[in-house]
């Protein structure tokens, strides 16, 4: 059965764009154009909510708790606000994720998939492999061509994220939010250093292969 996503966004063009994007990717959608309307149409059929912050009447941050009380489903905030303290405040109100406008469609779809999946991974999902790399998240061990790789936690989490869906491009903001968990220390330089270290360690184990490629202006993904 298709999952149903409630889109609460007052801009008709953005709302329609999101509805079209989600429909093309197998989701059912319900559209609302104000906070009050969002509260009225939210119900048992909704599996996830995309919530804009700047809404007429009640703002997005004012209705998060009410939406959760109606039915506790994942709420992904959509906003142009970059302030880290604002993001933290929204999480304390009950938001599950945050994506900054303007965003890449692939990043939004990836965040939706993660939130709908929910919960802790199974034992099988803790162990993943790609080409000659094997990762085990339960023990934070990494091997390439059978050789032990000594990775820091951030290096491991970054490589794990890239390997979970090798064809997916992970945007920088998505990596910051997932690997660094909204820490203020995450920036382009920090990410570049970690990518460089990962490439070097992989090359030491497998000199003939390149595993991580840069998608210029967007982020990174595993090389095919």
pLDDT tens track for 61-107: 889 989 999 999 999 999 887 666 777 788 888 888 889 888 888 88
Q: 33-36: which pairs have CB atoms within 8 A and are 24 or more residues apart?
A: 33/8, 33/9, 34/8, 34/10, 34/58, 35/8, 35/59, 35/60, 35/62, 35/63
Domains held by the chain: number:
2
Mean pLDDT of 177-189: 74
Query: Angle of helix 105-117 relative to helix 172-179, nearest 10 degrees?
Result: 30
First vs last C-alpha separation in the chain: 32
Q: How far apart are CA 48 and CA 28, in angstroms?
A: 11
Is 175's pLDDT higher than 70? yes
Q: Is the pLDDT of residue 222 over 70?
A: yes
What percent of the chain lies above the pLDDT cut of 90? 56
Range of the domain at 72: 4-117
Q: How confident is the model at residue 209 (pLDDT cuts 50, 70, 90)?
A: very high
With a cut of 90, say whether residue 180 has pLDDT above it.
Answer: no
The mean pLDDT of 101-129, rounded to a whole number, is 76
Residues 170 and 95 in one domain: no
Which residues are within 8 A (CB) of 47 and not within 5 positions of it... i.e. 6 or more apart? 3, 4, 5, 73, 116
Q: Could you give the 3-state DSSP secondary structure of residue 4?
A: strand
Q: Are residues 107 and 136 in the same domain?
A: no
- Report the mean per-residue pLDDT for the chain: 88
Q: How many angstroms separate the Cα of 26 from the Cα of each of 4, 5, 114?
A: 9, 11, 15
Q: Report the distance separating Cα 46 and Cα 30, nearest Å.
A: 8
The residue out of 55, 88, 117 marking a domain boundary is 117
My answer on whether 197 and 111 are in the same domain is no
pLDDT of residue 119: 44
Residues 127 and 108 in one domain: no
- State residue 142's pLDDT score: 94
pLDDT for the residue numbered 6: 97
* pLDDT, tens digit (0-9, with 9 covering 90-100), for 20-52: 999 999 999 999 999 999 999 999 999 999 999
């Amino acid at each position: 059965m298709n999952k149903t996503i409630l889109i609460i966004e007052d801009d008709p063009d953005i709302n329609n764009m999101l509805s079209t994007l989600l429909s093309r990717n197998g989701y059912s959608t319900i559209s609302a154009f104000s906070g009050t309307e969002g509260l009225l149409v939210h119900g048992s059929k909704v599996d996830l909510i995309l919530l804009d912050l700047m809404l007429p009447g009640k703002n997005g941050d004012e209705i998060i708790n009410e939406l959760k009380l109606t039915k506790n489903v994942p709420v992904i905030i959509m906003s142009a606000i970059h302030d880290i303290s604002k993001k933290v405040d929204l999480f304390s109100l009950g938001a599950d994720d945050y994506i900054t406008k303007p965003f890449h469609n692939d990043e939004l779809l990836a965040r939706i998939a993660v939130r709908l999946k929910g919960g802790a991974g199974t034992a099988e999902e803790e162990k993943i492999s790609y080409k000659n790399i094997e990762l085990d998240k339960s023990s934070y061990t990494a091997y390439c061509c059978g050789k032990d790789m000594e990775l820091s936690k951030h290096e491991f989490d970054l490589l794990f994220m890239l390997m979970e869906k090798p064809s997916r491009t992970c945007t920088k903001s998505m990596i910051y939010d997932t690997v660094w968990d909204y820490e203020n220390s995450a920036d382009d330089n920090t990410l570049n250093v970690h990518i460089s270290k990962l490439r070097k360690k992989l090359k030491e184990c497998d000199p003939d292969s390149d595993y991580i490629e840069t998608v210029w202006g967007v982020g990174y993904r595993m090389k095919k």
